[in-house]
Amino acid sequence: MSSKTERIDDVQGVNELLWELSREAGEVLAVHHSRRQVPGGRLPGFIDRLRTGVSWRTIVPRALLDDPASAAYCRQLHQAGDRHRVTDDSVQQMIVLDRKVAFVPTMPDTRGAGALVIRDPGTVATVADLFERVWTHAVDLETAYPPVLLEHQVQILRLMTTVAKDDIAARELGLSLRTYRRHVASVLAALDVPNRVQAAVVAQRRGWI
């Protein structure tokens, strides 16, 4: 293996080196497949550092947001300055520090795998370019953040996007037309969309209809 590439099979060793290098980095590019945890007790310091102006960008898969704890964690970091975008594309995990050092997994798509630490300028530039290409087409976390609907709101959503007339949908639920339309308005507000057409788009994307 090249002197500019180091293999670390110990996950803890990877995390410690990554943490050490990232504390001094001015720019960090990251792709994560699962919710990452800042090492125990370091989260407040990490968030404080984000607020100093370090450029930190992270890409996560949309499926990660289906887990409420992971989505909340990503949002916490996003609001602190670790700008998150969400992608539907398949892309390997990576971390690039100051465009000088890149971490990639020794075994793709394998949880708990070690990492290759790459310092070769050409290879690091290629990894960083891949990140930028995915970043360009990914969407901001706040836009992609999955709306949360109560069970009865999902039922309303299905009817309002599949039944042509409100009075028919209202009768199916045993509601007055006025009450049904009030529920429709609450669903549109929860989804942050202006009309039923866009509500249907969200519903299809989320698998609700």
* Each residue's pLDDT tens digit, 4-58: 999 999 888 998 898 889 888 999 999 988 766 655 567 787 788 887 888 999 9
Cα 124 → chain centroid: 23
Token reading at 131: 């990140």
CB-CB contact of 30 with 92 (8 Å): no
Q: Residue 207: what pLDDT? A: 74
Residues β-bridged to residue 83? 57
Helix, strand, coil % in the chain, rounded to nearest 5: 50, 20, 30
151-206 adopts what CATH topology? Arc Repressor Mutant, subunit A (1.10.10)
Alpha-carbon distances of 195 from 145, 152, 159, 169, 209, rounded to whole Å:
19, 19, 14, 17, 16
In this predicted structure, the answer to whether residue 73 has a pLDDT above a threshold of 90 is no
Q: How confident is the model at residue 148 (pLDDT cuts 50, 70, 90)?
A: low
Where in the chain do CATH 1.10.10.10 domains reside? Answer: 151-206
Phi, psi of 115 (to 5 degrees): -140, 155
- H or E element that contains 118: strand 115-118
Global confidence as pTM: 0.68
Mean pLDDT of the chain: 86
Tens digits of per-residue pLDDT, 92-132?
A: 899 999 999 999 999 887 777 899 999 999 999 999 999 99
In this predicted structure, the answer to whether residue 185 has a pLDDT above a threshold of 70 is yes
Where in the chain do CATH 3.30.870.10 domains reside? Answer: 5-144
Class of CATH domain 5-144: alpha beta
Q: Residue 40: what pLDDT? A: 54
Matching residue, tokens 């990914």: 138
Q: Residue 62: what pLDDT? A: 85
Alpha-carbon distances of 65 from 85, 90, 126, 199, rounded to whole Å:
11, 15, 28, 19
Q: Residue 170: what pLDDT? A: 93
In this predicted structure, the answer to whether residue 160 has a pLDDT above a threshold of 80 is yes
Q: Residue 103: what pLDDT? A: 96
In this predicted structure, the answer to whether residue 208 has a pLDDT above a threshold of 80 is no
